[in-house]
Chains A and B, each alone.
Chain A
């Protein structure tokens, strides 16, 4: 007699009358392939854990964002936020779609240049720009977004040495009704700091103030905050026009749109509750169109969206290492990936799907990573079919920040693969090796021998 597929016996208490905080049926429906590439084959070829990026999802999401804005406003430009995912292949997909780049360090700046982005299509943000970075950016006519007065004065000094007129914007922080306020970056609107900086820039006449920038926060769930921010920047632009007769070329609204993830502690799944690109676009574009600009003076609208454009395109494939029963009776499943490579599990309840078919029986469990640390918790409670050692899972919506903020701890960072538009996988970042890690270290000669 042919034997049938084995599933671990499970028993689960049924709670009547309480809201199911463990997720819904769709959460544990098996996901056996990504854009047509089989999960088992991907793990077989590239190992586990494995990050998988979907080129199709990136392009689709990007086009959707562009559509939402261009149907509402005549001049729109996206600039890819490098810090969100600066793998060169991923950046190149965004550049092919027409995105400029937004960088916050010399490292990111040079990455953008090496990817072939012209200097004048690079926006240089952040509080940390070295002299070397500034000189490069000035010579390349990049858009330098000034963060603080020390930087403003340093640029003035450099213009004398370089005999160039840099193209600059200031970053403005403001009260948009969303707290905590990100007031550590840029110049404050309400206190008059921003207006003060604008006057200094225009009156010293060493550089061209071409833009106004803000980034009001990240994972912003209220589109109306953007409307307020756009109105405040437009007011500044209008003041500049009336006092100096100068037009601001662009308004840069930064990033911060929420991705379709579920924040920890929320009952509803993110995918069902976060605002859409249309919601954000409606708020921003209406605010700009309804402000004082004449038709000819309407500034270019720049967006530096990060997570909302790439989060959904990222998956983490992993493998069950072991199952355990905790002292309080809860089931614990240990995976081969931990918070070191899935940094975002600190603030998201990532959806996790089994990668093989199961019956519809489930159990509630805790998902742990393999690190020898108590903080290594991927999900505090999740409903999944009974899984056994060697089974695979797919973690969803991990494309933003994980592959830039990942930590090399205990083990090395895994491969990243991108599935192209035809369903073919391409290795876009090799996993680190012991040889590579050791090549960065230097052991002094006198420590090289010992007897044990």
Chain B
């Protein structure tokens, strides 16, 4: 999973995709995940970070992360890389 190169991310969670012209907003935790993806952190690194910072558990993270990443792809903010 990789955030597209030209996607702009602002401090306040505002995301702009110049290719499609679409803009998005995300919540603080969403912004953190997008930043980590941009820094090419692995899912495991992201999991560790989220579980240490927030009151949540592994299965909730798993479910929500999967859904979030799907939405990033649907909205063409991120792309699958193999």
Flag B17-57 by CB within 8 Å of A: 1 or 0 each: 00000111111111001000000000000000000111110
Known interface pairs A11-B15, A11-B71, A325-B67. Does A386 touch B55 (Cβ–Cβ under 8 Å)? no
| Count, A-B residue pairs, CB within 8 A | 73
Residues on A with beta carbons closer than 8 Å to the beta carbon of B54: 3-6
The answer to whether A361 and B60 have CB atoms under 8 Å apart is no
The answer to whether A12 and B26 have CB atoms under 8 Å apart is yes
Residues on A with beta carbons closer than 8 Å to the beta carbon of B28: 7, 359, 361
Q: How far is the CA of A13 from the CA of B25 in the complex (A)?
A: 7
> Any chain A CB within 8 A of the CB of B6?
no
Number of interface residues of B (CB under 8 A): 28
The answer to whether B65 and A361 have CB atoms under 8 Å apart is no
Residues on B with beta carbons closer than 8 Å to the beta carbon of A388: 60
Q: Which of B61-82 contact A (CB under 8 A)?
A: 64-65, 67-68, 70-72, 74-75, 77
Chain A interface residues (CB < 8 Å from chain B): 1, 3-14, 16, 323, 325, 329, 359, 361, 386, 388
Residues on A with beta carbons closer than 8 Å to the beta carbon of B77: 11
Q: Which residue of A lies closest to B71 (CB)?
A: A11
Residues on B with beta carbons closer than 8 Å to the beta carbon of A9: 26-27, 29-30, 33, 64-65, 68
Could you write out 20 A-B pairs with CB less than 8 Å apart?
Answer: A3-B54, A4-B54, A5-B54, A6-B54, A7-B29, A9-B29, A9-B30, A9-B33, A10-B27, A10-B68, A11-B15, A11-B30, A12-B24, A13-B22, A14-B22, A14-B23, A325-B71, A361-B26, A361-B28, A386-B27
Since A3-B54, A6-B29, A361-B28 are in contact, a sample of 4 more A-B pairs with Cβ atoms closer than 8 Å, ordered by chain A residue number, is A3-B53, A11-B15, A11-B24, A16-B23
Q: Which residue of B lies closest to A328 (CB)?
A: B74
Q: How far is the CB of B37 from chain A (nearest CB, A)?
A: 11
Residues on B with beta carbons closer than 8 Å to the beta carbon of A386: 27
Q: How far is the CB of B51 from chain A (nearest CB, A)?
A: 9
Q: How far is the CA of A359 from the CA of B29 in the complex (A)?
A: 11
